[in-house]
Structure 1
Amino acid sequence: MEVIWFVVFALLLAGYFALEGFDLGVGLLLPVLGRTRANRDRMVAAVAPYVLANEVWLVAVAGTLFGVYPLLEHHVLFGLYPLIVAMLLCWVLRDAGLWFRRRLDGALWRGFWDGAIAFGSLGLSVGWGMILYAAATGFAASPVHPVGLMLGVVVTLLFALHGWTFLGWRLPGVFGVTRPGRVLLATALVAALPALGVVGGAMPYLLAHSAPPATLNVLSLMVLPFAPIMLGAQVWVWRTFRPGKDAVRLLPSFF
């Protein structure tokens, strides 16, 4: 049972990086590719249908982490408390930007919330790299370390690449590039590599510090039956809002 839950946790974390990675990547690219108001609207509208579905994976990761590996709760919530709070604020700021940017039509209003999306995406991307560094050291080192910051830069660049590829798939030719689905899948795997590398290296520790078998059995009965629902909802989102669907044209009026 410990191995099964380790695989579930690794897949959830990799899925979050692969899916939320292009959300954050598009946010990172707003100041670069969104030179005009129309282009910024296109970028936000392209990514908007996927945001909430992708964030569900983070909730699943957090629930699995604290349910299956309760001993890590102290290290994550208390050892990384300032960083976690900063990332939560960036998360709120990014999502607020997505929802509020079109509530008024002024240039200053739009510019402020577009900047909030870009800044929040940057903070989350760098923060994830720093958390991965802290996890790779067994939470023995501070995430505010040159290597941690370097890993944050690497994660940010990978997310930006993934976001650029997503735009090439979702809006072919609009930003000077067209990408098929298999290339998007490849960059998704690349975006998830840092998380998979850290979790793979921590496998012996995680298996040795799993919750008791009785707890894992209860979690299996309570959680695993809902996995097909989450996957089915994700498939529905991707099929509904794939390139060429008329529903895409409605999005700019809401985001």
Structure 2
Amino acid sequence: MEILWLGAFAVLLAGYFALEGFDIGLGVLLPVLGRSQAGRDRLVAAMAPFVLANEVWLVALAGVLFGVFPTLEGEVLSGLYPLVVALLLSWVLRDAGLWFRRRAGGRAWRVLWDGALWLGSAGLALTWGMALAGVALGLPAALGPAGVAAGVAVLLLLALHGWTFAAWRLPGDEVVRGAVRDGRALLLTACAAAVPALAVTAFAASSMLDRTAPDQTLTVLSVMVVPFAPILVGAQLWVWRIFRKGALPSFF
């Protein structure tokens, strides 16, 4: 049972990086690719419909962490407290920029919330990389040079994933300078984005297995959670089926 839940944790973490990774990466590239307001609008409209569905993976991941690895959750969150706060603030800032940028007119308003979207996305990428480094190398390393280097590496990796998504979703558009990437390229960068998460999970596997909840708790969680797994997968497939191609939504 413990191994099954460790596998579920790994799948959710990898799924978050593979799917939410292109949203974060595209937010990081927003000032680079979106040199005009119209260009930024197209980039945001291309990825925004996927954001909520992709964030569900993180919510599910947090639930598994709290329920299955309660002692590990306490150790990691307390040891990485500054990074956890920075990650949550970045998440809120990124989503605020996404939802508020079109709620009023005016250039200053749009620039403000586009900046919030970029800053929140960059913060998410950096803090995730630093947190992964802390788990792999020891919690104090997260705020040191190794943690910063890992944060920058994850930021660059997610930026590549975001650029590949933009080229796939907006083939021939001027914001991606005519680059065309097919689904295979997007799948490749999605797998690459998931590699750090999977590597850290594999590295910490033995420690995680030693900190699982009692078998009775895991059994109850299985009964409560497993029936909802098809809903999560089905909703994800529905979102991709609806928004993967075609006209861009104007709401964002």
Whether the TM-score (by the shorter chain) exceeds 0.5 is yes
Partner of 1:51: 51
Partner of 2:61: 61
1:181 correspondence with 2:183:
yes
Say whether the 8 Å CA contact 2:72–2:208 is kept in structure 1: no
Aligned 1:86-101 pairs, distance under 5 A: 86-101=86-101
Distance in 1 (alpha carbons) for counterparts of 2:41 and 2:165:
15
State TM-score, norm by structure 2.
0.96
Distance in 2 (alpha carbons) for counterparts of 1:204 and 1:138:
15
Deviations 1:177-208 (Å, cap 9, x if unpaired)?
Answer: 11111110110000010010000111111112
Distance in 2 (alpha carbons) for counterparts of 1:219 and 1:123:
32
Aligned 1:4-83 pairs, distance under 5 A: 4-83=4-83
State TM-score, norm by structure 1.
0.95
1:113 correspondence with 2:113:
yes
Say whether the 8 Å CA contact 1:24–1:122 is kept in structure 2: yes
Partner of 1:146: 145
1:228 correspondence with 2:240:
no
Partner of 1:161: 160
What letter matches 2:170 in structure 1? Answer: L
Q: Any unmatched runs of 5+ in structure 2?
A: none
Identical amino acids, percent of aligned pairs: 63
Of 214, 217, 222, which residue of structure 2 is paired with 1:215? 217
Distance in 2 (alpha carbons) for counterparts of 1:138 and 1:220:
31
Q: CA RMSD in A?
A: 1.0
Structure 1 runs (4+) greater than 6 angstroms displaced: none
Distance in 1 (alpha carbons) for counterparts of 2:138 and 2:80:
12
Say whether the 8 Å CA contact 1:15–1:192 is kept in structure 2: yes
Distance in 2 (alpha carbons) for counterparts of 1:64 and 1:106:
43
What letter matches 2:131 in structure 1? Answer: I
Deviation, structure 1 residue 76:
2.5
What letter matches 1:117 in structure 2? Answer: L
Q: Any unmatched runs of 5+ in structure 1?
A: none
Say whether the 8 Å CA contact 2:168–2:182 is kept in structure 1: yes
What letter matches 1:67 in structure 2? Answer: G
Deviation, structure 1 residue 104:
1.4
Say whether the 8 Å CA contact 2:25–2:163 is kept in structure 1: yes
Of 234, 243, 248, which residue of structure 1 is paired with 2:245? 243
